[in-house]
Amino acid sequence: MTANRKVRHAPIGLFDSGVGGLSVYLHLAQQLPAEHYIYYADTLNVPYGNRDSEDIETLTLNAVEWLYQQGCKLIVIACNSASAYALDRARRCYPELPIVGLVPALKPAVLASKSGHVAVLATKATLNGTLLNDVISNVADPNGTLVTKYFDPQLVPWVESGMPVQDETAQRLRQRIQAFADDGVDQLVLGCTHYPFFKAFLLDEIARQQLSIQVVDSGQAIAERVKQLLVANQMSASLDSETKDYHSEVSSKTKVDISYPLTFHATKYSDRLGALVVRLLGRETVLQYHTE
């Protein structure tokens, strides 16, 4: 039976420790433009990657509860670190609610690797979590693929501060790419939702140094998974033809047709945050800030 109209028009919730999950939102907005999205950024507590598992679980369950209270029909935990420690628990707490989590896109990288050596760039929490380590045991190991894990605690703060290219973090990334190539890595997995925002920087660097490394992330696959779940649960907003009448805004940067403004909620606001969100999403993205 088709979900009722109220449910079909309920928002999709997205959660991340900061602005990283916006990289997932961009894929969702492109694939599912008729949907309405609410984003929760825990900017008060970012970064999560160095926190212990209980801390990450508690913060994540708070965020999921907040999105649930907003009436979301589906929630995406758009954070690999949070998914690693709280996805199972969140699903147990809200058995009726579809909850999608993130795991680094290691499986497609292993399948695409010709050299048999891939690298995963992620937070310490994600690298130690069972979601990723299960993929290593179940896919990489049986395939004979070597997986190098790499963690730089400054990467998330670098993205949150707008990715200044003169920063030491940028310099370390340039060197790291070269080192991966020297070690025979041919697939680099961006295992944190903040990292796709510097994918263009990495690709420029790879081209400049003439390295043969592919860069992969999970954004597209997550958007496809969300689409499947909406269809399977008959809760897709696009089931109603009237959604075509909603106003349409086009992000100049991403060429995304967005039917609704993005509702953005942060646990801590600043002028710098507002400017960063606009910069990451493209200047013409319409945002509605949500404060309580």
B/e letters for 2-41, b = 16+ CB within 10 Å, e = fewer, are ebeeeebbbbbbbbbbbbbbbbbbbbbbbbbbbbbbbbbb
At its nearest, how many Å lie between ligand DGL and the CB of residue 221? 14
Binders of ligand DGL in range 134-173 (CB under 6 A): 156
Residue 130 phi/psi, 5-degree rounding, is -70, -30
Binders of ligand DGL in range 232-291 (CB under 6 A): none
At its nearest, how many Å lie between ligand DGL and the CB of residue 55? 11
Contact range with ligand DGL by CB under 6 A, out of 86-94, 169-177, 191-199, 263-271: 191-199
Contact range with ligand DGL by CB under 6 A, out of 107-115, 131-139, 192-200, 235-243: 192-200
Tell me whether residue 93 is one of the annotated catalytic residues. Answer: no
* DSSP of 69-109: HTT-SEEEE--HHHHHHHHHHHHHH-TTS-EEE---SHHHH
Distances (CA, A) of 291 to 75, 146, 263: 20, 46, 10
Candidates 120, 122, 192, 266; catalytic one: 192
Q: Which amino acid is at 63?
A: A
Q: What is the SS3 assignment for 262?
A: strand
At its nearest, how many Å lie between ligand DGL and the CB of residue 85? 10
Contact range with ligand DGL by CB under 6 A, out of 17-25, 93-101, 253-261, 279-287: 17-25
* Residue 246: both structure tokens together: 């909603």
Contact range with ligand DGL by CB under 6 A, out of 13-21, 161-169, 175-183, 223-231: 13-21
Q: Which is nearer to ligand DGL, 33 or 219 (CB)?
A: 219
Q: How many residues bind ligand DGL (CB under 6 A)?
A: 17
* Residue 228: both structure tokens together: 């499947």
Binding of ligand DGL by 106 (CB under 6 A): no
Binding of ligand DGL by 194 (CB under 6 A): yes
126, 236, 251, 285: residue in contact with ligand DGL (rule CB under 6 A): 126
> Which residues lie closer than 8 Å to 233 by C-beta, 6 or more apart?
3, 74, 98
At its nearest, how many Å lie between ligand DGL and the CB of residue 47? 3
Residue 244 phi/psi, 5-degree rounding, is -65, -20
> Which parts of this chain interact with ligand DGL (CB under 6 A)?
16-18, 20, 46-49, 79-81, 123, 126, 156, 192-194
Residues annotated as catalytic (active site), given as ranges: 79, 192
